[in-house]
Structure 1
Amino acid sequence: MRPIILFLLVFLTACSQAPAPHSRTFYVFGTQVNVTLYADDPRQAEQAFAALNQRFQHFHHDWHAWEPGGIVARINASIASGQPIEVPTSVKAFILKSQQLCRASGGLFDPGIGALIDLWGFHGEDWHGPPPPQHEIDRWRKQRPSICDLAFQGGRLISRNPTVRLDFGGNAKGLALDMALETLQQFGIRHAIVNIGGDMKALGSKSDGTPWHIGVEDPFQPRQILARIDLRDGEAVVTSGTYERYFDWQGTRYSHILDPTTGWPAHGLVSVTVIHPDATTADAAATALLVAGPKRWRAAAKRMGVTTAAVIDQHGMIQMTPAMQARWHPMPP
């Protein structure tokens, strides 16, 4: 299970004139999903929760890279066999958006590297090493599959590279956050917070009209709050860290966040936090900035249209954009 690296700091309280708070916890995407919303009618809240759960379960089945029968697994099988595959309009739209994010990141974010992730053993829950041999990494780099190798003929997806294996672990939770808020709004919900494994998106505000208070975890002291961020209506906040999933081998730690340009785990930064109105973009950007490292993250953020970001390097030094500086409230030691 992915550690919770962002926390909702203030629990909700109802007042007599305001809608009542309702909370529900789901377990999906291999992590815990917490949803808190305000609703005048408990039945409205229950209907919204039921719809969310159904969409979450379908989403997990369809978008998990190695879930048998899911759309991503079917696409990967078709690419491997060299056959085109008809995909739904929503899937085509997400792939096209992911391609745009890949290009904007300069290839630092690339959902086409599923075979590399599998090579490193990060598709399962047991991450133990050893690292793959360099010659296998070199072979993958020579093939250099990318989501940008995919193209569409109408609704039919084709690939110029048969070694592309899609894995949307780098931005699927962002898509799920955007989808969750759309679902809540369809049920007339105007104020809510959705937390998927520590990544959050806000709808409206708390009952007193104030923003949602979000805590950023100290990567060197898990479960300790490093700073507070106030999340506004329609904003998502995503944190990506090298300490989330990793294995230690012969005294070296290997993170699950891989650099597509080298084939090896990202290093230099241990945590990146991004705020953006589009959760899918925030999720992809957090990965890209982490891969970019201490010297290149600002350039990557600019290319991806991210103005509010903070990074923490392996020595504990924090850098941030001016927009994040205004939002970042350090917690007392």
Structure 2
Amino acid sequence: MSLVEKYRPKSLDEIIGQDQLKAKIRNILVKDYLPHLMFVGDPGVGKTSLAHIIAQEKHYYLIEMNASDERGIDVVRHEIKQYARTKTIGDYKGKIILLDEADNLTADAMDALRRTMERYEHITTFIFTVNRPERVIDPIKSRCAIFYFKRLTDADVLKRILFILKNERISVDLKNPKIKAGLRELIRYANGDLRTAINMLESVITKEKTITEESILIEEKPQNVQQILQTVLDGDFETARNELQKLYIQNRYGTNAIIEQLYDALSKADGLSDAVRIKIYEKLGELERNLKLGTNPIIQLTSFLAFLWIVQYVKVPSECPLVAKGS
């Protein structure tokens, strides 16, 4: 069993960094009626785990599906509708359909899902986990109690990592500056995603159940956002694009986290005139707006990197749409 599965929270008390949210969930659990729920937040903060805990506490049967894999209208019309209409068997008190990454459903699928929610509400509760709530249609959101998960702090992640190391009896010299620095980098790259942090931790534990300087420092880690920004400003667009896609796809950085770090990195970037920096800030604001409208993140992020390269290396007229104010 992987460490991620072994240390998946089994109770509300084991969900970390979400104290206010847990208090509200406890109020829901003591009531007979369980409303449709929507959990919003970055990857690795406990959304899916909380859905399983609710099912366990309420003694509901849970069916889990991932909308990234099954996102079309046919899945809603056939599989999800069939699950929703089926009465609960055995001694379960109810039924939950957990739809992970529901923001990846197509618009037609969401519209069909809305009707399914209405028709079978008396026997089926839906729980949605969502990274980008702006992509979910309002009729679905209005039928849900919505809970926003905070991003985990580095301190939250470190506390859990140290607990796992102790519980697994992993030999690690926390006084060794290189190992200490390696763990710090691991947590920083996880960026509040506990699942990523635990997966990375497992990859640096040797078969002798120890963490060494070699095991934790030889791991190839993706560039951070500040490094990516500097890479494209230095003229290497291809490397910057590949590293940014790696952050988003492989390391599952949320777009909100990337936007925030781009703002921060831009303020620290060297070699930019005030005029160019202002144009980039404007384009970054446009990127954030477009992402909130549900556009393709990879296309938008790549377009932003291309813009950075253009304003730094291509001489264009001031009236060019790429660099004009309000572009």
Give TM-score scaled by structure 1 length.
Answer: 0.28
| Structure with the bigger percentage of helix | 2
| Structure with the bigger percentage of strand | 1
Return the structure number with greater relative CO, CA threshold 8 A, min gap 6.
1
